[in-house]
């Protein structure tokens, strides 16, 4: 399946208008658009505009509440618990990390947990927010159950990403990783391309290896068994139990601490129920911030300069590829899959918009 390239600014205008038609305020629609398109700029297709169809369905069904108001249900000087009341994850996510950042600047650290939310995009967006304020940032989220525990065949955890960001030169450190071998969005892309999944990514309803993206996605959606395997695979041989443990840890930090739903109870009866975790630390509480940043920058550069394997000419540190992709896509446009474009066209028809008024292929 082919791809076309479109200007970032054109996609931004279209997304903003679409979310305006859905009823979001100016601030909220700009937030949702910013999170979506940062993913595309970073080259993370699975969480970019291809997610629009998911949000369209969620808003139409009432799972995602356009006018939801987040509520602080518990707060201390360094922490807070937020009930999102089924609002958009990006909206509550940005506000929650802003709260964590403010607490960190005042008292050295801040942690905010959220319950009853929805998909919030890439976890790295929120960790990056803290790093841009000169802080160490972390974020995690659970999601609909897609991850199968070691030796199991039923999905019990989400993709459950962990993101960590830290200022450094010449590139900040930005780790954004799922605790599954791939995300659900990656399966959606393979399904759109009508490509077979690599064996070792997913399991069918009986717990056996599957290369059929459409079947795995159908089973996840209808909770028929199977799903995506943890980091390390479906057995203990290559550490699958460690990925499984990381997935459970994310459920602890998000669902358990917030008093929300673990992944195996989310997305039932048209309720998302997703839970998030946001953490910001002013590392000046450990000493001179400039010295700490210099140490991080030095180590990252030593990693890049370390001996390369035969046939390799570069070692990347986390966040480098995203910056290079960002610069390329701002200059040369964002690639959009033909099936994703058709989904966008259908959404626009529903909203009485014309795609052609906004998107011109480069």
| 224-247 mean pLDDT | 97
Residue 131 has pLDDT above 90, yes or no: yes
State the angle between helix axes of 89-107 and 26-41 in degrees (0 to 180), rounded to the nearest 10: 90
Domain segments of the chain as ranges = 1-61+323-362, 69-181+229-318
Closest CA to 91 of 109, 73, 114, 75: 114
| 125-132 mean pLDDT | 98
Question: What average pLDDT does the chain have?
Answer: 97
* pTM for the structure as a whole: 0.96
- What is the pLDDT confidence band of residue 362, given thresholds at 50, 70 and 90? very high
Q: Which DSSP symbol is given to 357? A: G
Distance, C-alpha 131 to centroid of its chain = 17
Residue 199 has pLDDT above 70, yes or no: yes
- Is-contact 33 19, C-beta < 8 A? yes
| 95-116 mean pLDDT | 98
163: its two tokens: 């993101």
* Alpha carbons 147 and 117: distance in angstroms, whole number: 19
pLDDT reported for residue 1: 59
pLDDT reported for residue 253: 98
User: 1-61+323-362 and 69-181+229-318 share one CATH topology?
Assistant: no
Handedness of CA 35, 65, 18, 263 (dihedral sign): positive
* Alpha carbons 356 and 362: distance in angstroms, whole number: 13
Residue 74, sorted as left (phi over 0), alpha (psi -120 to 50) or beta, turns out to be beta
Exposed/middle/buried for residue 21 (C-beta within 10 Å: 0-12, 13-18, 19+): middle
pLDDT reported for residue 176: 98
3-state secondary structure of 183: coil
Exposed/middle/buried for residue 27 (C-beta within 10 Å: 0-12, 13-18, 19+): exposed
| 82-100 mean pLDDT | 98
CATH of domain 1-61+323-362: 1.10.1530.10
* Alpha carbons 1 and 188: distance in angstroms, whole number: 13
* Alpha carbons 159 and 45: distance in angstroms, whole number: 16
The CA-atom distances, in angstroms, between 284 and each of 135, 136, 292, 320 are: 9, 10, 8, 25
| 241-261 mean pLDDT | 98
Fold (topology level) of 69-181+229-318: Ribosomal Protein S8; Chain: A, domain 1 (3.30.1370)
- Is-contact 360 341, C-beta < 8 A? no
Each residue's pLDDT tens digit, 57-74: 999 999 999 999 999 999
pLDDT reported for residue 228: 98
Q: What is the largest CA-CA distance in the chain?
A: 56
pLDDT reported for residue 99: 98
Question: Helical H runs in 44-149?
Answer: 52-61, 89-107, 124-132
């Amino acid at each position: 399946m082919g791809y076309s390239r479109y200007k970032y600014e054109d996609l931004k205008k279209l997304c903003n208008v679409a979310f305006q038609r859905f009823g979001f305020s100016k601030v909220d629609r700009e937030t949702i658009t910013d999170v979506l398109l940062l993913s595309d700029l970073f080259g993370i297709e699975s969480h970019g505009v291809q997610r629009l169809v998911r949000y369209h369905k969620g808003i139409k069904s009432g799972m995602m509440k356009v006018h939801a108001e987040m509520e602080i249900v518990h707060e201390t000087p360094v922490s807070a618990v937020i009930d999102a009341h089924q609002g958009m994850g990006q909206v509550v996510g940005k506000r929650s990390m802003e709260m964590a950042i403010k607490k960190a600047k005042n008292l050295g650290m801040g942690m905010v947990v959220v319950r009853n939310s929805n998909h919030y995009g890439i976890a790295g967006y929120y960790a990056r927010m803290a790093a841009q304020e000169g802080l160490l940032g972390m974020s995690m989220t659970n999601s609909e159950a897609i991850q199968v525990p070691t030796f199991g065949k039923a999905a019990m955890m989400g993709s459950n990403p962990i993101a960590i960001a830290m200022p450094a030169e010449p590139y900040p450190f930005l780790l954004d990783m799922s605790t599954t071998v791939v995300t659900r969005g990656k399966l959606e892309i393979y399904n759109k391309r009508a490509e077979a999944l690599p064996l070792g990514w997913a399991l069918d309803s009986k717990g056996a290896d599957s290369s059929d993206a459409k079947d795995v996605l159908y089973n996840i959606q209808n909770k028929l068994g199977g799903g995506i395997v943890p980091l390390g695979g479906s057995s203990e041989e290559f550490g699958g139990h460690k990925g499984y443990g990381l997935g459970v840890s994310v459920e602890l930090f998000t669902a358990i601490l917030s008093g929300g739903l673990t992944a195996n109870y989310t997305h039932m009866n048209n309720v998302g129920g997703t839970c998030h975790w946001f953490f910001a630390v002013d590392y000046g509480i450990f000493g001179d911030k400039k010295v700490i940043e210099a140490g991080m920058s030095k180590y990252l550069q030593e990693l890049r300069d370390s001996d390369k394997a035969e046939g390799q000419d570069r070692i990347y540190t986390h966040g480098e590829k995203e910056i290079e992709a960002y610069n390329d896509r701002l200059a040369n446009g964002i690639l959009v899959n033909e099936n994703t474009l058709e989904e966008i066209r259908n959404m626009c028809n529903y909203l009485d918009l014309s795609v052609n008024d906004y998107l011109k292929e480069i």
